[in-house]
C-alpha cells in the first residue's frame, strides 16, 4: 500500500511566498510611522497690506521713511512678505563739492519675515526681520535734476525688530514697534554705513485678514 508524501515546494515558489508576505507587511509598518511635519493639520491662509512710517536718524538728522508692506499669513502666526520705503523729508547732503543745495534720496526694499504671538488677543506682539537692499543718490533741488555724483549707490540692509499690536477691528490692526537697521556697502563719496544704520521707531497700519 502506497503512502502519500507531501510534495516539496521549490525554491522559486518559496521566494514568491516570502516576497508576498513582505509586501503585505509594508503597509502596516508605514501606518505605524506617520510622517512628521513642522506645520501639522489644516493650514489657514490669509494676507494683509500695510502703510508704514519709520522714524530714524540719517547723517545726524531725523529721517522719515514712508512706504508699504504686504504679507502672506500662515495659521495666524507666520508672515512672509515684502516692503518698500522711501525717505520723505528733506535731509541736506553734507560735503558735496559743486555749488547748490543737494539733498539725499534714499529707498529701502526688503523681504520680510514675521512671527506673531497670540494673534486673537486684543493686544499681542510679534518679532520680525527684514533683509534686502537700499539705494542712495544726491538730488540737486535748485536745478531740479539728479546730481550724478557716481550716480546711484546700492547697499545691503538687514533690520530685525519687534512690534506691539492692537486689534482695532477684525480687518484693521495698529502696530507700534522698534527695530535696528544694519547697513553695509555704502560707497558713495561723502557717505558712510553709519549714516544710515541705527535704531528706528515704527508705526504700522495693517488692513486685511489675519
Q: Is 129 a domain residue?
A: yes
| CATH code, domain with 99 | 2.40.160.20
26 confidence band (pLDDT: 50, 70, 90): low
Give me the percent of the chain exceeding a pLDDT of 90: 62
Three-class SS state of 202: strand
Residue 74 belongs to domain spanning: 45-208
Higher pLDDT, 94 or 23: 94
Region class of 47: left (phi > 0), else alpha (psi between -120 and 50), else beta = beta
Four-residue CA torsion sign, 140, 142, 143, 145:
positive
pLDDT of residue 139: 83
Query: Is pLDDT of 54 > 70?
Result: yes
Q: Is 9 a domain residue?
A: no
pLDDT of residue 140: 77
pLDDT of residue 43: 86
Q: Is 106 a domain residue?
A: yes
Q: Is 148 a domain residue?
A: yes
Q: Is 53 a domain residue?
A: yes
Query: Is pLDDT of 16 > 70?
Result: no
Query: Is pLDDT of 198 > 80?
Result: yes
On whether the CB atoms of residues 164 and 175 are closer than 8 A, the answer is yes
On whether the CB atoms of residues 71 and 47 are closer than 8 A, the answer is yes
Nearest to 155 by CA among 135, 170, 172, 140: 135
pLDDT digits 0-9 by tens, 80-89: 999 999 999 9
Q: Tell me how many domains the chain contains.
A: 1
56 confidence band (pLDDT: 50, 70, 90): very high
41 confidence band (pLDDT: 50, 70, 90): confident
| Lowest-pLDDT choice from 7-21, 96-110, 134-148 | 7-21
| Lowest-pLDDT choice from 95-104, 133-142, 157-166 | 95-104
Q: Is 101 a domain residue?
A: yes
HEC readout, 72-118: EEECCCEEEEEEEEEECCCCECCCCCCCCCEEEEEEEEEEEEEEEEC
Query: Is pLDDT of 146 > 70?
Result: no
Q: Is 72 a domain residue?
A: yes
Q: Is 193 a domain residue?
A: yes
> Residue 209 and residue 8: Cα distance in Å, rounded?
72
Residues in the chain: 210
Amino acid at each position: 500500500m502506497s503512502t502519500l508524501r507531501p510534495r516539496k515546494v521549490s525554491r522559486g515558489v518559496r521566494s514568491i511566498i516570502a516576497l508576498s508576505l513582505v509586501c503585505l507587511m509594508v503597509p502596516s509598518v508605514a501606518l505605524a510611522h506617520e510622517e512628521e511635519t513642522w506645520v501639522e493639520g489644516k493650514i489657514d491662509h490669509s494676507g494683509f497690506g500695510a502703510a508704514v512710517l519709520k522714524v530714524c536718524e540719517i547723517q545726524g538728522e531725523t529721517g522719515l521713511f514712508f512706504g508699504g508692506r504686504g504679507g502672506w499669513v500662515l495659521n495666524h502666526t507666520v508672515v512672509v512678505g515684502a516692503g518698500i520705503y522711501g525717505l520723505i523729508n528733506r535731509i541736506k547732503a553734507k560735503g558735496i563739492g559743486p555749488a547748490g543745495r543737494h539733498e539725499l534720496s534714499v529707498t529701502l526694499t526688503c523681504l520680510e519675515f514675521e512671527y506673531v504671538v497670540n494673534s486673537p488677543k486684543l493686544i499681542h506682539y510679534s518679532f520680525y526681520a527684514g533683509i534686502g537692499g537700499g539705494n542712495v543718490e544726491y538730488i540737486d533741488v535748485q536745478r531740479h535734476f539728479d546730481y550724478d555724483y557716481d550716480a546711484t549707490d546700492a547697499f545691503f540692509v538687514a533690520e530685525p525688530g519687534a512690534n506691539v499690536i492692537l486689534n482695532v477691528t477684525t480687518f484693521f490692526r495698529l502696530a507700534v514697534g522698534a527695530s535696528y537697521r544694519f547697513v553695509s556697502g555704502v560707497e558713495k563719496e561723502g557717505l558712510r554705513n553709519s549714516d544710515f544704520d541705527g535704531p528706528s521707531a515704527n508705526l504700522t497700519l495693517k488692513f486685511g485678514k489675519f
